[in-house]
Structure 1
Amino acid sequence: MKKREIEELLLQLVNVQSVVNSSGEVAIIDFIENYLRSWEYFQKNPDNIIRVPSVGDALNRPSLLVSVCGQESPDTVVLLGHTDTVEIDDYGPLQDLATRPEELLAALRKGQRDLYPEARKDAESEEYFWGRGTLDMKAGVANELILLKKLSEAQTSFRGRVVALFVCDEEGNSAGMIAAIEALQAWRNATDANIIGVINTDYHTAQYPGDEDYYLFKGTVGKIMPVFYIRTLETHAGDPFAGLDANLVLANLLDEINLNPKYSDSAPDEFSVPPISLKAEDLKEVYSVKTNHEAWTLISVPLFEETPATVMSKMLTAAEIAATKSSDKFTNYQRAYCQQAKIPNPHVLPKFEIITLATLLERASELLGEDKDKMIDRYLRPINHVDSRKQTLHLIRQLEALLPDRRPRIVVGYAPPFYPAISYLDSDSHFYTLVDKGIKSVLTADIAKDYLLDTGKKLKTKTYYPYISDLSYLALPYDERDLQLMADNMPTLGRSYHIPLSLMKELNLPVINLGAYGFDAHKWTERVERDYSFRILPRLLESIVMEILNNR
């Protein structure tokens, strides 16, 4: 495949601004579909392009399922790529150039925005394309399209089929991927296809400062999002020890969990990044001298080998630690104040209760004498249009207020979204052996089983792709106990939040991520390295696909 052809297509793709949750997501799919239909293959086989609508989507954003057939065989390789990008507001006065790589680079070279030293060096070279979506992930989409084009022009060179899923909304709520796997399953059933595995071409970057290696990932990280609701005791600001400030407890909770590597997940020789809060606030809506007695936070927890059950256990422990720290601070500060003021210690703080959301639901159902599911529906139905995270909070607040004992309490549950972790460690699939053979046809392996590039750099193998991706929707390596625990603690699941868990378990597909390389995805300095991404990567992808389909 010609490097320049892929680069020219990349620039065209980037020129189509496709920010998530905008009409641009329709425009980019229109562009790709028109590009595909200009090929002779699809003029003869127009039904091999399927436009897949996102269910209930206000913007009518579609995805595409595209198939190219070789010689007769049920064996199939799936390529996956998302076509949306994050916003462009971070480009500031250069927003109009964010999706015009050549003009953006010219402006940066003129010093219209200050660049940090490494970025300045890259801007002065000819080794990168700059702009929103160049790296994440239109470089990968361009690679997939050119590979499909080459295969469509050489159908006798391979057996079986190559299917590509070009999906919207990956940077949002994965509406495109959720619809696409339904379409993929329907297509598989209709064609009796045997899907060997899935190749995602999302970007990768240096794994630490100074890292110059490239990476193949034989799996993808997952994510689960605990929600913590904190209920304390209100009081007058002039009598602070007569109650307990919820913000004190929230601060201790965040101090315990946020960026704490003791809560990182691990696999052989790999560690996930620590959890990070995505939302944290008190719930006092107006100013008054009454202290705040409610707070909440959402915590993003990466998954490697942890499960919903083990994460819940750790989060309950974290809540206990935060509660103990808060109680100890309350006691110690009150003692110190009373000594200064020469008055007795008048207040004893009631003991905290730490419970799961599932426990709260059971208690409330019993108090109300109402079926649990009917109760949840009654509380959530009037706010079905509200963000599902806020729905979770609303339900917890309403039900916790029913409990007769007004004591400090932390409720721990789950809020959407949920992304399973997938890895070759969960699979005995021959797919991964064929992937390695395909790479060895292009690169040589050293003693450490790394692959050597002709540039002197290495392509290394890791288990978990470290950035949340739509690959998570292609398998579900958890047992029923874990899934039931998650469902019991995520009341929006199956209501306002829909994820096809049974289909994911049925698909059970092995996956890899082998994508373009560059720096600063989601930043205004986003850029993709041209040599690896458009010279080496295309050869690797083609070799892997041909190895899988011709040597089964």
Structure 2
Amino acid sequence: MLEFTREGMLDLTKALVRMRSVSHTQGENEAADAIHDLLAGETYFQEHPDFLRLLPVESGGLARRAVLAFVQASTPCSRTVLLNGHFDVVDTDVCGDLADLAFDADAYTAAMAGRDIPEDARKDLASGNWLFGRGVMDMKAGIALYMAYLAHMARHRDELGVNLLFLAVPDEEGSSAGMRGSLSGLCAFVKEHGLDLVAALSGEPAFWTSKTTAESRPHRILFTGTTGKIMPLFFCVGREAHVGYSFDGVNAAAIAARVVCLMDCCPDLMDGAGEDTLTPPVCLKLKDLRDTYSVTLPERAAAYFNVLSVSRSPLDMLEICRNIARRALEETLDGIREAGRRFQKQANRADTPVPAWEARVLTVHELMEMMAGEGNMDEAKARLSAFAEALPADMDEREKGLAVLDHLVSLVNLKGPAVVVGFLPPYYPQRLNLRATEKERRLRTVMEGVCADLEKSVGAVSLVECFSGIMDLSYMGFQGEPGELKTLAENMPGWGEVFSLSMDDLLSLDVPIASVGPSGKDAHKDTERLELEYSFGVAPKMLERVVRELGVSSCESAVRGTAADCSSLS
């Protein structure tokens, strides 16, 4: 039996940590089965077996699965709160010779005493209030909290004013294949039972900020929104030439390098404002697309970028990329022409004129239209899909996308100088609390009340508009026009095979989000650790309160207020 007590949740967390559910390994399936079996041991799910399901998230590969569980309030209602988390973890390579021990939280915590670790980690270790280990805070403790609470409320359904829907997924640490893949199953269940998702809560930990010092009170971050992420791609096409006659051609690597100079860390491309300002774009890869040594100018090169956003749509980003590509081409060709003039003058030669190249900027979709010509676009897409499906299953998604686009460029025989702009996976929509709906306003008010009481009792807390990292609850709806999603799909090579996302399901959702989970430090590091007193003393009461207040109708809350039982968080 799962116990909603400090000891019960601590023991469950340690048991979950022992599950070696490293992303993209069979351990993810083993964890899914174990979580399912633990919940299946509860009387409620034995009596309602259809309320506990393993949802397939992918047809190939590891055939990974998510776990969905539903607890219905004793008084029938449609209002439902989603409790979401991921059970995959990053690998333990950074733990060195303790890599294997990192899945045993007690043993790993004890071993930290003999390690050379930062001073703040050593102080936490000495306090006895912290547990170390891989996934202990990111995010096995959050899964344990939600599982224990779900089982507890299944035994006390008369206390529920809303239904509870639990969804634990694999592969959040990769490209959120777990959440994307389970979205259709989730939406189907919601439709099947006529549910109204009033909020989605994440069990991700409240991260301590760098503002915390030995003299200050703990400062934890909670959020009611999360940033979006998009991966712009610049596929640069030059003109071949022998290096001894370099002015006869255009080096694609030079175009790509100019793109990086214009995009990387460009302050003009930062999004957000004030404390919610996001970091600017960063180049994640720059490379030419040939595998062997050659004294021919590289004809093709590519660069792609990590771009965070809270306001820009894929359509906005595509236009920004067009402008940068045009400028990169102009500046590259201007440089070649100037170098050519200087070479002619210095060498006293007039036989090496620089061609008057006409540069082009195209989108992936425009290139597809060139391929289709007067024919059928569906046939052109099918031809590319077949190529994408034949790529190695274990090939990196970004490399697959590049391979598909490289194939498309060959099929249309595109000659440079040119830049094709588009996107690579993954894609995360931004999900903000815009206060535009009653659901959004209600959740924000509840979270503000919770944070005000936390400030009084357990230390400084910031309720931020937007979590600056990437998380699964991005997929709780799309805050834009359907055509903007279409732009994304049309300009991501391999869409549907390399990267898939059910746009119909995404557009059917509009669920406000918030973080209600444990607390910890140093996710993904060898000093990853969980704050025990907050995680198993405060967080459970916070979860109870948030769900309780979301279960009160808006008219009742107007009479009773939303700050009821403030002392419960102390």
Q: Is TM (by shorter chain) over 0.5? A: yes
What amino acid sits opposite 1:354 in the alignment? V
Matched, 1:63 2:66: yes
CA contact (8 A) 1:83 1:141 kept: yes
Could you tell me how far apart the structure 1 residues matched to 2:425 and 2:329 are? 25
Match of 1:444 in 2: 452
Could you tell me how far apart the structure 2 residues matched to 1:142 and 1:405 are? 54
Could you tell me how far apart the structure 1 residues matched to 2:423 and 2:297 are? 27
Query: Aligned-pair distance for 1:506?
Result: 1.1
Q: Structure 1 residues 90-99 or 378-387, which shifts more?
A: 378-387
Matched, 1:304 2:310: yes
Match of 1:380 in 2: 385
Alpha-carbon RMSD across the aligned residues, in angstroms, is 2.6
CA contact (8 A) 1:214 1:458 kept: yes
Q: Structure 1 residues 388-397 or 28-37, which shifts more?
A: 388-397
Helix, strand or coil at the partner of 2:200: strand
Match of 2:369 in 1: 362
Structure 2 counterpart of 1:6, from 9, 14, 24: 9
Matched, 1:416 2:418: no
Match of 2:560 in 1: none
Could you tell me how far apart the structure 1 residues matched to 2:486 and 2:440 are? 30
Matched, 1:130 2:119: no
What amino acid sits opposite 1:465 in the alignment? F
Query: Aligned-pair distance for 1:96?
Result: 0.7
Query: Aligned-pair distance for 1:333?
Result: 4.2
Match of 2:548 in 1: 546
Matched, 1:288 2:291: no
Q: Structure 1 residues 203-212 or 56-65, which shifts more?
A: 203-212
Match of 2:461 in 1: 459
Q: How does 1:173-184 map to 2 (within 5 A)?
A: 173-184=175-186
Q: Structure 1 residues 164-173 or 38-47, which shifts more?
A: 38-47
Could you tell me how far apart the structure 2 residues matched to 1:265 and 1:226 are? 15
Match of 2:321 in 1: 315
Q: How does 1:331-370 map to 2 (within 5 A)?
A: 331-335=337-341, 341=347, 343=349, 346-348=352-354, 350-366=357-373, 369-370=374-375
Structure 1 counterpart of 2:113, from 103, 109, 114: 109
Helix, strand or coil at the partner of 2:131: strand
Query: Aligned-pair distance for 1:253?
Result: 1.4
Match of 2:82 in 1: 78
Helix, strand or coil at the partner of 1:87: coil
Q: TM-score, normalised by structure 2?
A: 0.87
Structure 2 counterpart of 1:51, from 54, 58, 82: 54
- Residues 530/410 of structure 1: CA separation in 2 closer, same or farther (3 Å cut): same
Query: Aligned-pair distance for 1:434?
Result: 4.4
What amino acid sits opposite 1:178 in the alignment? R
Could you tell me how far apart the structure 2 residues matched to 1:485 and 1:495 are? 17
Could you tell me how far apart the structure 2 residues matched to 1:404 and 1:104 are? 57
CA contact (8 A) 1:233 1:243 kept: yes
Query: Aligned-pair distance for 1:540?
Result: 1.1
CA contact (8 A) 1:215 1:514 kept: no
Report Cα offsets for 1:11-55 as digits up to 9, x if no partner: 111111101111111121222222223333333333321121224
Aligned residues: 541
Could you tell me how far apart the structure 1 residues matched to 2:39 and 2:408 are? 53
Match of 2:568 in 1: none
What amino acid sits opposite 1:360 in the alignment? L
Q: Alignment identity in percent?
A: 28
CA contact (8 A) 2:198 2:511 kept: yes
Match of 2:247 in 1: 241
Q: How does 1:206-221 map to 2 (within 5 A)?
A: 206=208, 210=212, 212-221=218-227
Structure 2 counterpart of 1:29, from 13, 29, 32: 32
Query: Aligned-pair distance for 1:110?
Result: 0.9
Q: Structure 1 residues 101-110 or 157-166, which shifts more?
A: 101-110
Match of 1:142 in 2: 144
Query: Aligned-pair distance for 1:489?
Result: 1.5
Helix, strand or coil at the partner of 2:85: strand
Could you tell me how far apart the structure 1 residues matched to 2:398 and 2:483 are? 23
Helix, strand or coil at the partner of 1:266: coil
Query: Aligned-pair distance for 1:335?
Result: 4.9
Could you tell me how far apart the structure 1 residues matched to 2:211 and 2:378 are? 50
CA contact (8 A) 2:9 2:148 kept: yes
Structure 1 counterpart of 2:44, from 41, 51, 61: 41
Unaligned segments of structure 2, at least 5 residues: 555-570
CA contact (8 A) 1:438 1:540 kept: no
Could you tell me how far apart the structure 2 residues matched to 1:291 and 1:59 are? 41
Matched, 1:371 2:376: yes
Could you tell me how far apart the structure 2 residues matched to 1:84 and 1:405 are? 42
Report Cα offsets for 1:95-115 as digits up to 9, x if no partner: 11121122223323212xx33
Q: How does 1:467-506 map to 2 (within 5 A)?
A: 467-506=469-508
Unaligned segments of structure 1, at least 5 residues: 446-450
Could you tell me how far apart the structure 2 residues matched to 1:420 and 1:11 are? 33
Q: Structure 1 residues 396-405 or 514-523, which shifts more?
A: 396-405
- Residues 443/209 of structure 1: CA separation in 2 closer, same or farther (3 Å cut): closer
Helix, strand or coil at the partner of 2:406: helix
CA contact (8 A) 1:352 1:409 kept: yes
Match of 1:448 in 2: none
Q: TM-score, normalised by structure 1?
A: 0.90
What amino acid sits opposite 2:245 in the alignment? D
Could you tell me how far apart the structure 2 residues matched to 1:438 and 1:510 are? 12
Query: Aligned-pair distance for 1:82?
Result: 0.8
Structure 2 counterpart of 1:255, from 261, 267, 286: 261
Structure 2 counterpart of 1:394, from 383, 403, 410: 403
Report Cα offsets for 1:421-462 as digits up to 9, x if no partner: 11111741335424533663x5536xxxxx51423x222221
